């Protein structure tokens, strides 16, 4: 079996490892257009205390990643200068490059060939391989080439966001909301290494325009965000990694494969970063795809149909939560009319997936403070 995987992000590296592990004799190649050791963004969070979902499938990869995770058990919302702590909402985080390096180790150990600085022609790859995995991310060229066959929809959200890093280590995942004379700004910030944090700034498109950010060079945007979030940053600078203002695209596909080409990870679907699940979903797609191919190795068409029919119902629930969370952020300035504890409650209920009894069990401190505040 010959498998060509386009993209060495989390989805591509992990499916390469799983397929090579399942089919020792197979030729599994990954082609990545970036240089080795480079990536976009800074750290990523996982919406659980640890990568527990990996334990059953792959305890060795879990054991490699677990010591590198920064973990905390509370989430902090800052609104009107008040810090509201929501206990029991565990997250863990890791640098994106570190995460990719560790997945690369697993793939290379299994015998996968990884080619960096390598962009392959999809048509040629499709002719020469039994299976082509489009793990080429949100702007997937393979998906765009066959957009009609995949039934692709791609809708940009209105808000503008920018992904920075900073040397300030934050105690917990923190959501800071601030009013300025131009309108409201939000920052998602969390530590992903002992002395490094992710800092994502988000705002409404009109606020972005009114603040002049649409026209300013990136250095001026950095200075602007440092000034707005001076209290959170406490003198630490924001760092760019090709950072630029973007709109988050909501990508969906009706049909997940076309001939021997199959979509996984962000090429298949995006999940708003506010739920910290895009990378996890990419890994779970990889697990589902590898399991389907393992079940039908001699009939790739059947395997790809099975991949979609088994994975889609599980995925839809999570993507529904991600879309609801994105919708909450699209109008976060309106929610900011609420007092801090009501605002925090609105935040925690934004995906519509937390029932009140479960919240009480999970976050007893927060619920007690919320009730005391309402009394």
Candidates 277, 325, 351, 363; binder of ligand FAD (CB under 6 A) is: 277
Whole-angstrom distance, CA of residue 199 vs CA of residue 238: 8
Q: Tell which positions 177-216 bind ligand FAD, by CB under 6 A.
A: 200
- When asked if residue 7 is in the footprint of ligand FAD (CB under 6 A), the reply is yes
* Beta-carbon contacts of residue 47 (< 8 Å; ≥ 6 apart): 91, 275, 276, 277, 280
Whole-angstrom distance, CA of residue 308 vs CA of residue 289: 8
Tell me if 218 sits within 8 A of 243, measured CB to CB: yes
Stretch that binds ligand FAD, among 58-66, 101-109, 226-234, 259-267 (CB under 6 A): 259-267
Candidates 4, 26, 28, 32; binder of ligand FAD (CB under 6 A) is: 32
CB of 34 to ligand FAD, least distance (A): 5
Count, residues near ligand FAD per rule CB under 6 A: 33
Supply 45's token pair: 């969070």
Stretch that binds ligand FAD, among 16-24, 28-36, 73-81, 291-299 (CB under 6 A): 28-36
- When asked if residue 326 is in the footprint of ligand FAD (CB under 6 A), the reply is no
- When asked if residue 19 is in the footprint of ligand FAD (CB under 6 A), the reply is no
- Residue 221 or 277 with smaller CB distance to ligand FAD: 277
Candidates 15, 135, 287, 326; binder of ligand FAD (CB under 6 A) is: 135
- Residue 103 or 367 with smaller CB distance to ligand FAD: 103
Stretch that binds ligand FAD, among 18-26, 54-62, 250-258, 266-274 (CB under 6 A): 266-274
- When asked if residue 345 is in the footprint of ligand FAD (CB under 6 A), the reply is no
Candidates 11, 18, 129, 173; binder of ligand FAD (CB under 6 A) is: 11
Neighbouring C-beta atoms of residue 234, cutoff 10 Å: 9
- Residue 86 or 132 with smaller CB distance to ligand FAD: 132
- Residue 74 or 266 with smaller CB distance to ligand FAD: 266
Q: Tell which positions 160-179 bind ligand FAD, by CB under 6 A.
A: 163
- When asked if residue 90 is in the footprint of ligand FAD (CB under 6 A), the reply is no
- When asked if residue 321 is in the footprint of ligand FAD (CB under 6 A), the reply is no
- When asked if residue 141 is in the footprint of ligand FAD (CB under 6 A), the reply is yes
Q: What is the 3-state secondary structure (H, E, C) of the chain?
A: CEEEEECCCHHHHHHHHHHHHHCCCCEEEEECCCCCCCCCCCEEEECCCCCCHHHHHCHHHHHHHHHHCEEEEEEEEEECCEEEEEEEEEEEEEEHHHHHHHHHHHHHHHCCEEECCCCCCHHHHHHHCCEEEECCCCCCHHHHHCHHHHCEEEEECCCEEEEEEECCCCCCEEEEEEECCCCEEEEEEEEEECCEEEEEEEECHHHHHHCCCCCCCHHHHHHHHHHHCHHHHCCCCEECCCCCCECCEEEEECCCEECCEEECHHHCCCCCHHHCCHHHHHHHHHHHHHHHHHHCCCCHHHHHHHHHHHHHHHHHHHHHHHHHHHHHHHCHHHHCCCCHHHHHHHHHCCCCCCCHHHHHHHCHHHHHHHHHHHC
Candidates 16, 18, 28, 45; binder of ligand FAD (CB under 6 A) is: 45
Candidates 4, 12, 78, 287; binder of ligand FAD (CB under 6 A) is: 12
- Residue 197 or 277 with smaller CB distance to ligand FAD: 277
CB of 360 to ligand FAD, least distance (A): 27
- When asked if residue 284 is in the footprint of ligand FAD (CB under 6 A), the reply is no
Binding site for ligand FAD (CB under 6 A): 6-12, 31-34, 41, 44-46, 119, 135-138, 141, 163, 200, 265-267, 273, 276-280, 282
């Amino acid at each position: 079996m010959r498998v060509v995987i386009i993209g060495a992000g989390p989805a591509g590296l992990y499916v390469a490892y799983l397929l090579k592990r399942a089919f020792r004799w197979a030729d599994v190649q990954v082609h990545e257009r970036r240089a080795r050791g480079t990536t976009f963004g800074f750290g990523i969070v996982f919406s659980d205390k640890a990568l527990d979902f990996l334990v059953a499938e792959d305890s060795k990869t879990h054991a490699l990643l677990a010591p590198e995770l920064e973990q905390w058990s509370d989430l902090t919302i800052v609104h009107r200068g008040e810090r509201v702590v929501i206990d029991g909402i565990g997250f863990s985080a890791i640098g994106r490059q570190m995460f990719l390096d560790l997945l690369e180790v697993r793939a290379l150990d299994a015998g996968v060939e990884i080619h960096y600085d390598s962009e392959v022609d999809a048509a040629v790859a499709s002719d020469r391989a039994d299976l082509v995995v489009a793990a080429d991310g949100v702007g997937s060229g393979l998906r765009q080439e066959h957009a009609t066959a995949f039934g692709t929809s791609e809708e940009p959200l209105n808000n503008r966001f920018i992904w920075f890093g900073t040397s300030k280590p934050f105690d917990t995942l923190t959501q800071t909301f601030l009013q300025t004379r131009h309108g409201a700004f939000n920052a998602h910030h969390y530590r992903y290494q002992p002395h490094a944090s992710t800092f994502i700034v988000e705002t409404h498109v009109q606020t972005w325009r009114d603040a002049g950010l649409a026209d300013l060079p990136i250095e001026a945007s950095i200075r602007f965000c440092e000034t707005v979030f001076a209290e959170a940053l406490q003198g630490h600078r924001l760092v760019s990694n090709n950072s630029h203002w973007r709109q988050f695209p909501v990508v969906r596909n009706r049909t997940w494969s076309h001939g021997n080409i199959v979509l996984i990870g962000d090429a298949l679907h995006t999940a708003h970063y506010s739920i910290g699940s895009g990378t996890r979903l990419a890994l779970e797609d990889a697990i589902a795809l590898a399991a389907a191919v393992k079940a039908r190795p001699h009939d790739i068409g059947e395997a790809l149909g099975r991949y979609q029919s088994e994975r889609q119902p599980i995925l839809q629930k999570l993507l529904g939560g991600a879309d609801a969370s994105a919708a909450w952020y699209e109008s976060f300035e309106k929610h900011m009319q609420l007092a801090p504890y009501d605002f925090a409650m609105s935040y925690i209920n934004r995906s519509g997936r937390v029932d009140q009894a479960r919240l009480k069990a999970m976050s007893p401190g927060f619920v007690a403070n919320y009730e005391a505040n309402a009394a």
